[in-house]
Amino acid sequence: MSEAVSQPLPSPLTVGIIGCGVMGRGIAQIAALAGARVHLADGFEGAAAAARDTLATTFDTLVNKGKLTPDAASAALSRLHPCAVLSELADCDLIVEAIVEDLAAKKTLFATLETIVSSTTILASNTSSLSVTSIAAGLQHPRRVAGFHFFNPVPVMKIVEVIGGILTDEQIVEQLLVLGQQWGHTAVRAKDTPGFIVNHAGRGFGTEGLRVLSEGVTAIPTLDRILRDTAGFKLGPCELMDMTGLDVSHPVMESIYRQYFEEPRFRPQGLTRQMLVAGLLGKKTGRGFYQYDAAGKKITE
Ligand code: NAI
């Protein structure tokens, strides 16, 4: 197999971020700070403009902490453009999708994007667990689809997995690996398998942690404390799920389980499904495994 020679991406790069939730905002932040023009779009009216406002506050905080110069902050802010309709993304060189973790929703979005952007625009997904090959299947130009999987919080967790599906052009993978590095992250190539590297290996942490709870081996705070203090993780599994949000974590567990043909070791627990149904999503709803105040500070042990 011949080595692909990576063509540089245009500079400055025009990036469309679709889905301005926690991940989309984080990706927009690092992209704008790295010099990209960033179009923000979201299916929820007003969310793109709200994301720009939130990022303005973030940049102010970084300036006050001496981590960013006022000039760099205002330049990055001027590069963020909220869009009211997807057609405003027509000139993007790269789209990074960070919408709901649902295969049908992502496929529908990418099919719509193909009617808007050029046939060479890279379509990247921040999916945590879904098959890049499945997202690309059925598109007119599936070769330009790849996974570009960041971690939460994006500016802090300086790693990104780059995933090519069966149909992906090697050139696209190479370009995203370079771009991830340019955005200040360690970019690693991962095979298109359920959960890729981190969310596959992480099953032993999250899913198995829930099994420990379901078997009554210990209580939630002890499980978290032991994995934090003894095993060296920054957060315990329940703390991590509360931060991520069960609206994201539980579908990821179900998706990986399904994609591995219901292999028992990946089986999710009923507890997180019940919590999801009850709206106990974690920090974002003020209650998950723990309770939180309006600022997101844990108020229960
Ligand atoms: P979120 O719920 O914070 O944000 C999702 C945003 O997408 C919302 O603003 C929503 O209005 C918008 N949206 C939903 N469906 C849409 C559609 N069909 N078209 C346009 N906009 C739509 O979710 P979060 O946590 O940012 O996750 C987004 C993606 O990133 C998911 O695929 C998730 O698996 C992945 N991810 C999440 C991580 C986390 O820790 N939260 C970590 C790494 C990846």
Encode pLDDT of 166-216 as tens digits.
999 999 999 999 999 999 999 999 999 999 999 999 999 999 999 999 999
pLDDT number for residue 250: 96
Query: Buried (b) or exposed (e) across 69-92, using 16+ Cβ within 10 A?
Result: eeeebeebeebbbbbeebebbeeb
Domain at 14-192, CATH class = alpha beta
65 contact partners, CB below 8 Å, separation of at least 6: none
Tell me which of 25, 128, 150 to substitute to probe ligand 1's pocket, judged by most ligand atoms within 8 Å of the beta carbon: 128
Tell me: pLDDT of 2 over 60.
no
pLDDT number for residue 300: 86
Residue nearest to atom 42 of ligand 1 (CA): 151
Q: Is 152 a catalytic residue?
A: no
pLDDT number for residue 84: 96
For residues 272-300, average pLDDT = 96
Tell me: pLDDT of 252 over 50.
yes
pLDDT band at residue 94 under the 50/70/90 scheme: very high
Q: Which H or E run includes 164?
A: strand 159-164
pLDDT number for residue 134: 98
Q: Ligand 1 center to residue 166 CA distance, Å?
A: 24
Mean pLDDT of the chain: 96
Query: In 3-state terms, what secondary structure has residue 199?
Result: helix
For residues 265-285, average pLDDT = 96
Tell me: pLDDT of 12 over 50.
yes
Contact 99, 248 (CB under 8 A): no
Identify the CA nearest to 267 among candidates 225, 214, 228. Answer: 214
Does residue 229 line the site of ligand 1, with CB under 6 A? Answer: no
CA dihedral (8, 103, 20, 113) in degrees, to 10, reads 60
pLDDT band at residue 7 under the 50/70/90 scheme: confident
Q: Is 185 a catalytic residue?
A: no
pLDDT band at residue 237 under the 50/70/90 scheme: very high
Q: Which residue has the tokens 């808007």?
A: 116
- List beta partners, residue 145: 123
pLDDT band at residue 6 under the 50/70/90 scheme: confident
For residues 19-36, average pLDDT = 98
Q: Ligand 1 center to residue 98 CA distance, Å?
A: 5
For residues 42-55, average pLDDT = 98
Region(s) of the chain under CATH 3.40.50.720: 14-192
Residue 12 preceded by cis peptide, ω within 30: yes
Does residue 244 line the site of ligand 1, with CB under 6 A? Answer: yes
Does residue 224 line the site of ligand 1, with CB under 6 A? Answer: no
Q: Is 128 a catalytic residue?
A: yes
178 contact partners, CB below 8 Å, separation of at least 6: 6, 8, 9, 187
Topology of 199-285 in CATH?
A: N-(1-d-carboxylethyl)-l-norvaline Dehydrogenase; domain 2 (1.10.1040)
Does residue 235 line the site of ligand 1, with CB under 6 A? Answer: no
Does residue 237 line the site of ligand 1, with CB under 6 A? Answer: no
Does residue 249 line the site of ligand 1, with CB under 6 A? Answer: no
Prediction pTM value? 0.95
Tell me which of 22, 53, 134 to substitute to probe ligand 1's pocket, judged by most ligand atoms within 8 Å of the beta carbon: 22
Read off the pLDDT of residues 119-131 as tens digits, 9 standing for 90 and up.
999 999 999 999 9
Tell me: pLDDT of 265 over 70.
yes
Residue 153 preceded by cis peptide, ω within 30: yes
Region(s) of the chain under CATH 1.10.1040.50: 199-285
Does residue 128 line the site of ligand 1, with CB under 6 A? Answer: yes
How far is Cα 20 from Cα 289, in angstroms, rounded to an integer?
25
CA dihedral (193, 194, 196, 201) in degrees, to 10, reads -120
Tell me: pLDDT of 137 over 90.
yes
Q: Which residue has the tokens 């625009």?
A: 121
pLDDT number for residue 61: 98
For residues 144-150, average pLDDT = 98
Q: Is 161 a catalytic residue?
A: yes
